[in-house]
Chains A and B, each alone.
Chain A
Amino acid sequence: MKRVKAGVVVFPGSNCDHDAFYALKHILGNDVDFLWHKEKLNAKYDLIILPGGFSYGDYLRTGAIAKFSPIMDNVVDFAEKGGTLMGICNGFQILTESGLLPGVLVRNESLRFVCKDTFLKIENPHSRFTDSIKASQTLKIPVAHGDGCYFASPDIVSALYENHQVIFRYCSPDGEIDEISNPNGSVTNIAGIINKKGNVLGMMPHPERCCDPVLGNSDGSLIFNSILRHL
């Protein structure tokens, strides 16, 4: 597979930046740079990751302050020009706050921080993020968040399904969509969505935490390998 150049944005409070760096560089063999949020993008990247964490301490609303970081102008421009952009957990929250993805992520219905493995059904197997994964396969990917309940108005949710923008949904290990498998109360078990153009993905589960086979689960690498095949 081609070696690509990926950038992992680092905000004050990011804490999954090293996991994303490790997965993309040391497990999947790409060139990866950390991109400090106060700098401008000064090289050409094939893939940009907004990692998980607690940017700006989650103050005000998750992702609300990070969206004004200097690098975000370049990130929005990169996405508008069709670049592949992926927001994981806090990165997903930043993408919704920035308006790159619809909806919002609010406090988990249980009010608890949830840290556990979840199972994901691939709702759209034709996106650049999923098209090299078997459609019937259920992915086991961990979540770790307090504000991961995806909400959007019913008309926006219907539009997401009509446009095949819903990519992942929380499900049982057998692939059944049920309430008990929903870790945070997200509307219709939504775990990850893409924009209309299909180049921006936001997801609450952490694929970068399950890429190294030594950890006993490398389902996350299926998503990254799918992306890398397109770059």
Chain B
Amino acid sequence: MYHIKVIIKRRDVILDPQGKAIEQGAKLLGFDNITHVRVDKLIEFNINSESPEKANEEANLLCNKLLANPIMEDFELSVTKI
């Protein structure tokens, strides 16, 4: 069994209004040195695969088909044996 962590990031060219709102909030708190806030997604799951390579391959497929939208998002994933 393997544990997968996927971080899904919206591409920089796509506006991130949540990140912008957080940045404005931070500035209101006096954090004038905060810039480039982006809100990403973290998705975790377990996968029953025969090897870490196979787990990685299956998780990649799931990311491309469902978890991320390849038009606007990139993803990074990590595989840990549990």
Which of A's residues lie within 8 Å of B, judged by CB?
Answer: 60-61, 64-65, 68, 96-97, 103-104, 106-111, 149, 151-153, 185
Q: Which 9 pairs show the lowest CB-CB distances between chains A and B?
A: A111-B17, A104-B72, A104-B71, A109-B17, A107-B17, A111-B21, A151-B14, A61-B69, A104-B69
Partner of A153, one of B10, B13, B66, B69: B13
Cβ contact within 8 Å between B66 and A60 = yes
- The CA-CA distance from A153 to B13 in the complex, in Å, is 9
B13 with A108: CB separation less than 8 A? no
Asked if A106 and B15 make an inter-chain contact with CB atoms under 8 angstroms apart, the answer reads: yes
User: Which chain B residues numbered 36 to 79 have a C-beta less than 8 Å away from chain A?
Assistant: 66-67, 69, 71-72
Q: Which of B15, B17, B21 has the most CB of A within 10 A?
A: B17
A151-B72 in contact given A60-B66, A64-B66, A68-B66 (Cβ < 8 Å): yes
Pair B67/A110 contact, Cβ less than 8 Å: no
Q: How many contacts between A and B, using CB within 8 angstroms?
A: 34
CB <8 Å contact, A106 and B66: no
- A residues less than 8 Å from B13 (CB atoms): 153
Indicate if the CB atoms of A103 and B71 lie closer than 8 Å.
yes
Closest partner residue, chain A, to B39 (CB atom)? A107
- Provide the bound-state CA to CA distance between A121 and B21, in Å: 31
Chain B residues within 8 Å of A68, by CB:
66
For the complex, give the distance between the alpha carbons of A109 and B71 in Å. Answer: 19
Q: What string of 1s and 0s marks CB contacts (under 8 Å) between B1-38 and chain A?
A: 00000000010011101100100000000000000000
B22: min CB distance to chain A, Å: 10
Given that A111-B21, A151-B72 are known contacts, is A106 also in contact with B67, CB under 8 Å in the complex? Answer: no
Q: Given that A68-B66, A111-B21 are contacting pairs, would A106 and B71 also be in contact in the complex, using a CB cutoff of 8 Å?
A: no
